[in-house]
Amino acid sequence: METVSFWNRKSIQKTAGDIIAYVILSMGCIIVLFPLFWQISNSLKTLDEVYAFPPKWLPNKPMWNNYKEGLTFMPFSRFFLNSTIIVASVLLGNLLSASFVAYGFARIRARFREPLFLLVLSTMMLPYQVTMIPIYILFRKIGWIDTYKPLIVPSFFGGGAFFIFLLRQFFLTIPRELDDAAKIDGCSFLGIYWRIILPLAKPAMATVAIFTITWTWNDLLGPLIYLDSFEKYTAALGLANFTAQYGATPWHLLMAVSTIFMLPCLIIYFLAQNYFIQGIVITGLKG
């Protein structure tokens, strides 16, 4: 009798706690998602409706034309194409070079391997501001300003310590017997890397890919520093300079373009959520 009532009380407590948790979490959810709803709503309003006070929750008539106008009154379709070109190139660079280097650190014996790997990790501690200015001057000297090369070429040189670290950790979990068997069959290190490790590392490569895509797509500072010509702008840079071009702020168009701009990252996130989560948990990074 004692225990039954004890469990009852406990389960009531648990249910009450769950309800409170639900209420708080749902309120948090509304707060988190509201700005996104607001953006989409504003992207479909007329400019007068955006400025209306009290604010209108939804437009009288959704102005789908804002999306067309937003893309055409500044060459945003061009900017989106530019961003896509840069993202695709950086993606190739990061995936190839980070996995190549990570394979070396995970699988090949050499005397200074551990200290060198510590060096890789220690570069993560250095804030980018310290190296940013000399790198800019270097690219300027070799005439790369106003080209995409400063944004793309560095990704082919190791792809960044984060990704080397992430991939190495994953490669270490692949059973070594697979390498040994391949070695006995006469497979070279390059062959093992290409035919055994890479195909097995697809989940980790996917994590590297989606972080590369979102970071590169969203990057403002790089394009801001290196690109001068209007027609070479990335979408992020075009969006950041949108107001400067237009004079008064056309919030309705701005929100339409901004929604299109967010879309690729949101879609990738919803489709590949687990890879995001895995990446955050492995490296402890916050996104």
Partner 1 sequence: MKFLSGNRHRGLSKVLRNEELVFYLFISPWILGFILFTAYPIFSSFYLSLCNYDIINPPKFIGFRNYIKMFVDDPLFWHSLKVTFYYSGVSVPLGIIVALFLALLLNRNIRGMRWFRTAYYTPAVISGVAVGLLWAQIFNPNFGVLNYLLWELFRIQGPGWTFSEEWVIPAFIIMSLWRVGGGIVIYLAGLQGIPTELYEAAEVDGATGWIKIIKITLPLMSPIILFNLITGIISSFQVFTEAYVMTAGGPHNASLFYNLYLFLNAFRWFKMGYAASLAWILFLIILTLTLLVFRTAPKWVHYE
Candidate residues 8, 220, 246, 271; the one interacting with partner 1 per rule CB under 8 A: 220
For residue 1, the tally of other CB atoms under 10 A from its CB is 5
129 in contact with partner 1 (CB under 8 A):
yes
Residues 6 or more apart whose CB falls under 8 angstroms from that of 92 comprise 155
* Residues of this chain, 159-188, that bind partner 1 according to CB under 8 A: 164
- Contact assessment for residue 226 and residue 146, using Cβ atoms and an 8 Å cutoff: yes
154 in contact with partner 1 (CB under 8 A):
yes
Beta strands in the chain (DSSP E): none
* Residues of this chain, 13-52, that bind partner 1 according to CB under 8 A: 17-18, 21-22, 24-25, 28-29, 31-33, 35-36, 38-39, 42, 50-52
Give me the residue label for tokens 């390059």. 190
Candidate residues 137, 142, 184, 248; the one interacting with partner 1 per rule CB under 8 A: 137
* Residues of this chain, 221-250, that bind partner 1 according to CB under 8 A: 221, 224-225, 236, 239-240
Closest approach, Cβ 140 to partner 1, in A, equals 7
> Following DSSP, what letter does each residue of 106-164 receive, concatenated?
HH---TTHHHHHHHHHHGGGS-HHHHHHHHHHHHHHTT-TTSSHHHHGGGGTTS-HHHH
**With respect to partner 1, which residue has the nearer C-beta, 66 or 97?**
97
Residues 6 or more apart whose CB falls under 8 angstroms from that of 204 comprise 166, 167, 170, 171
3-state helix, strand, coil in the chain (%, to 5): 80, 0, 20
103 in contact with partner 1 (CB under 8 A):
yes
53 in contact with partner 1 (CB under 8 A):
yes
151 in contact with partner 1 (CB under 8 A):
no
286 in contact with partner 1 (CB under 8 A):
yes
* Residues of this chain, 200-219, that bind partner 1 according to CB under 8 A: 214, 217-218
**With respect to partner 1, which residue has the nearer C-beta, 57 or 175?**
57
110 in contact with partner 1 (CB under 8 A):
yes
- Contact assessment for residue 123 and residue 57, using Cβ atoms and an 8 Å cutoff: no
Closest approach, Cβ 102 to partner 1, in A, equals 9
Judged by CB under 8 A, which stretch of 59-67, 84-92, 195-203, 279-287 contacts partner 1? 279-287
143 in contact with partner 1 (CB under 8 A):
no
- Contact assessment for residue 287 and residue 210, using Cβ atoms and an 8 Å cutoff: no
